[in-house]
Amino acid sequence: MSPTPHALGEPVVRHEARLKVTGAARYAAEHTPPGCAYAWPVPAGVARGRVVSVDTADALDIPGVLTVLTPHNAPRLAPADDPVLAVLQDDRVPHRGWYVALVVADTLEAAREGAAAVHLDYDIEAHEVVLDAGHTALYVPEEVNGGFPAVRERGDFRSGFAEAPVRLDASYRVGPLHNHPMEPHACTAEWREGRLRVHYSSQGATLAGQTAAALFGLEPEQVTVVSEHVGGGFGSKGTPRPELVLAVMAARETGRPVKLALPRRQLPAVVGHRAPTLHRVRLGADADASLTAVGHEIATHTSTLKEFVEQAAVPARIMYASPHSSTVHRVAPLDVPSPSWMRAPGEAPGMYALESAMDEVAQLLGVDPIELRLRNEPAEEPDSGRPFSSRHLADCLREGAERFGWERRDPRPGTTREGALLLGTGVAAATYPVYLSPSHAEAHASPEGGYRVRINATDIGTGARTVLAQIAAAALETRVENVEVEIGRSDLPSASLAGGSSGTGSWGWAVHKACEALRARFAELGGRIPAEGVTVTADTEQETRRGSAYSRHAFGAHFAEVQVDTVTGEVRVRRLLGVYAAGRILNSRTARSQFTGGMTMGLGMALTEHSGMDPLFGDFTESDLASYHVPVHADVPAIEVHWIEEEDPHLNPMGSKGIGEIGIVGTAAAVANAVCHATGARIRDLPLTPDKVL
Ligand code: MOS
């Protein structure tokens, strides 16, 4: 074997690849402690009201049913920071699907049968679940998700827009979208001698452990949360969810380990969803294609339990130069499930609207849409005036155009036919911010020459475990095979969530720092490693809290080619191509897979994914994979992913930006712009299903 250390960027195969493909990797619901009982939750059957009575007699008669927990008999928890965790704490029903009982039984079948036999009486109140742009409940919040101000004004948008020679004023809509990770939300909880051990499908076992300790009045050391393998999350497993509370509660009440895997059809009501967004985008431009006014207003919903505001107008603050700008978020609290994070909250719907509007303005001006974007590249971040740490959007657009063959495009819409098919191409930009959070890591060297890195990072399928080994190997100047990585347990050094595309950068920084400290320790020891080995720890509390004087974002460009069937109205994507500028790419294999996955999710957002809200029942109309259509292999063309080598010294020691979310940003706009190019018709409401296209 070559002694050359592994370089960052190499396509190292996932460490757990074999475990996963052979089924040896154990997920949260695949741990069955001796004596394990099973739980099945009962969702509320009304959209608003109170539980007056729960008749559990029939359920308790079912052989194997151990107990039925209800708002009337469930143990009281310490007050929860997150109101969605206060399950079975009072009789209020804030939305349909809110859990109102939990059946625990010897078998899964008995628990499920028991859940169906629980009879509930409600005091039903009138509900309000439908968002419209004129909704009287809309208000401007203090801030929106991510801590951004809800409103930003720059220059004088009103007159800037009124005086612009070319104006677009267009409304777009993105309906509610659901997180449907392949592994549903699941938890196996076990109490052992006053200690709680939980296998939990989570994007962050540190936060899950802290939350469980706080709710159940335990010391943090009494709780261990294990999230060794996680089958996707997309934000829905970023914060602890009711299944954690219910499983722990049930285990304590029954004195048995309890397993609770949420049925997929219940997920939309309890794991967060992407709230619908209604967009009004106003763009003013000079005849020379310089934007003079950028306005993006959105209306969205939240629940009555908590305020979560999809920050969809935020990307308009950083994308394009213009002297006048106005970005506004409004939110209406409705009797709906609590919305939350879903891959690129804010950017995904926001950039669909903004990048569609850019395409429309390009058409009005008669300029090429790439040219329009290039002409409006800002010298610094328009919102704050801060310099970009790096911004290679123009390079992404140019390289993408060349690779895609953009110059062969006939700009006239509706002109390319193949029998009954109309063909078109479209482009859109992408952006995602760089987030970095404090993390702690430990590095250990054994006298035999091996290394071990320990950090409570979570690999939700991204390849993070492998990339952390690469980061350690690079810092230690050794081969990646010499590094063992332990992650996914709350008793490891604490680390931030696998969220906001921040995981690898945040954890990697702590790992890098620990490995550097280890090398410094070697130097002190003169290279002699004692029998017990050498162990050091490091954290990035200071570095990450210091923030940056720079505006830090990844950028990208998405290109799509579509065919539109003029007989059926079916849109199919023939080609998708993305070029990204996301700092240093740390593992070309797993990075490609992240980008491809994001683009695939963007394709779903463009063409098939949609949830309706039934006004009468107050429920999502698409809640399982039979009705909520995620793209399948037959829907996904060959996706091409490229990136440019970007050097950015203002990020972290690896020079990396996050890559987990940018793939979904702008993809739907590229597809929608291609559909408009194919047909000449602009559809401003996703997804582009045949009923709208025809
Ligand atoms: Mo992502 S929506 O921050 O898990």
Q: Which atom of ligand 1 lies closest to the CA of 344?
A: 2
Q: Which residues line ligand 1 (CB under 6 A)?
A: 203, 233-235, 238, 341-343, 345, 499-500
Within a 13 Å sphere around the CA of 489, how many CA atoms are in the beta-carbon half?
10
What pTM was estimated for this model as a whole? 0.97
| Distance from Cα 594 to the centre of ligand 1, integer Å | 13
Q: What is the average pLDDT across 371-396?
A: 97
Q: What is the average pLDDT across 126-135?
A: 97
Query: Rounded to 5, what percent of the chain is helix, strand, coil?
Result: 30, 25, 45
CB-count burial class (<10 Å; 0-12, 13-18, 19+) for 261:
buried
Q: Which atom of ligand 1 lies closest to the CA of 235?
A: 4
> Is this complex scored with an ipTM above 0.85?
yes
| Distance from Cα 243 to the centre of ligand 1, integer Å | 19
pLDDT of 612-663, one tens digit each?
999 999 999 999 999 999 999 999 998 999 999 999 999 999 999 999 999 9
Beta carbons of 623 and 610 less than 8 angstroms apart: no
**Quick one: what percent of the chain has pLDDT higher than 90?**
98
pLDDT at res. 538: 98
Q: Which residue from 661, 662, 665 has its CB within 8 A of the most atoms of ligand 1, so it is best to mutate?
A: 661
Q: What is the average pLDDT across 151-177?
A: 98
Q: Which atom of ligand 1 lies closest to the CA of 233?
A: 4
143-177+273-434+550-693 belongs to CATH 3.90.230.10: no
Q: What is d(CA 690, CA 431) in angstroms, rounded to the nearest whole number?
A: 29
Please report, for the chain, how many H helices and E strands are present, in that order. Answer: 16, 30
Q: Report whether pLDDT(372) > 70.
A: yes
pLDDT at res. 1: 41
Q: What is the average pLDDT across 201-220?
A: 97
Q: What is the average pLDDT across 49-56?
A: 98
Average model confidence (pLDDT) across the chain: 97
Beta bridge partners of residue 537, listed in sequence order: 442
Beta carbons of 545 and 438 less than 8 angstroms apart: yes
**Quick one: what percent of the chain has pLDDT higher than 70?**
99
Q: Which atom of ligand 1 lies closest to the CA of 203?
A: 4
pLDDT at res. 2: 44
Q: Report whether pLDDT(3) > 90.
A: no
Break the chain into its structural domains and give their ranges. Answer: 17-25+437-546, 31-126+182-232+237-270, 143-177+273-434+550-693
Q: Rounded to whole angstroms, what are the CA distances from 275 to 117, 310, 348?
A: 33, 7, 12
Q: Which residue from 178, 180, 310, 341 has its CB within 8 A of the most atoms of ligand 1, so it is best to mutate?
A: 341
Give the H or E element holding residue 675.
helix 667-679
Judge if 17-25+437-546 and 143-177+273-434+550-693 fold alike in CATH terms: yes
| Distance from Cα 85 to the centre of ligand 1, integer Å | 19
Nearest Cα neighbor of 212 from 239, 236, 179 is 239
Beta carbons of 138 and 147 less than 8 angstroms apart: no
Q: Which residue from 343, 434, 435 has its CB within 8 A of the most atoms of ligand 1, so it is best to mutate?
A: 343
Q: What is d(CA 677, CA 671) in angstroms, rounded to the nearest whole number?
A: 10
pLDDT at res. 638: 86
pLDDT of 68-100, one tens digit each?
999 999 999 999 999 999 999 999 999 999 999
End-to-end CA distance of the chain: 61
pLDDT at res. 584: 98
| Distance from Cα 347 to the centre of ligand 1, integer Å | 11
- If DSSP codes are grouped into helix, strand and coil, which group holds residue 557? strand
Question: With the C-alpha atoms ordered 462, 558, 553, 364, is the resulting torsion angle positive or negative?
Answer: negative
How sure is the predictor about 5, in pLDDT bands with cuts at 50, 70 and 90? low
31-126+182-232+237-270 belongs to CATH 3.90.1170.50: yes
pLDDT at res. 4: 57
| Distance from Cα 84 to the centre of ligand 1, integer Å | 18
Q: Which residue from 234, 311, 594 has its CB within 8 A of the most atoms of ligand 1, so it is best to mutate?
A: 234
Nearest Cα neighbor of 319 from 368, 355, 270, 267 is 355
| Distance from Cα 345 to the centre of ligand 1, integer Å | 7
Instruction: Work out the angle at residue 424's Cα, subtended by the Cα atoms of residues 419 and 425, and round it to the nearest 5 degrees.
Output: 150
Could you give the residue numbers annotated as active site?
661
Using CA atoms of 397, 403, 405, 406 in order, give the dihedral in degrees to the nearest 10: 0
CATH of 17-25+437-546 among 3.40.1190.20, 3.30.365.10, 3.30.465.10, 3.10.400.10: 3.30.365.10
Q: Which atom of ligand 1 lies closest to the CA of 460?
A: 4
Our measurement of the distance from residue 268's CA atom to the centroid of its chain's CA atoms, rounded to an integer in Å, reads: 15
pLDDT of 287-323, one tens digit each?
999 999 999 999 999 999 999 999 999 999 999 999 9
Both tokens of residue 641? 């992913």
Q: Which atom of ligand 1 lies closest to the CA of 234?
A: 4
| Distance from Cα 500 to the centre of ligand 1, integer Å | 5
Identify the residue whose C-alpha is closest to ligand 1 atom 4. Answer: 235
Q: Is cis: bond before 79, omega within 30 of 0?
A: no
pLDDT of 58-71, one tens digit each?
999 999 999 999 99
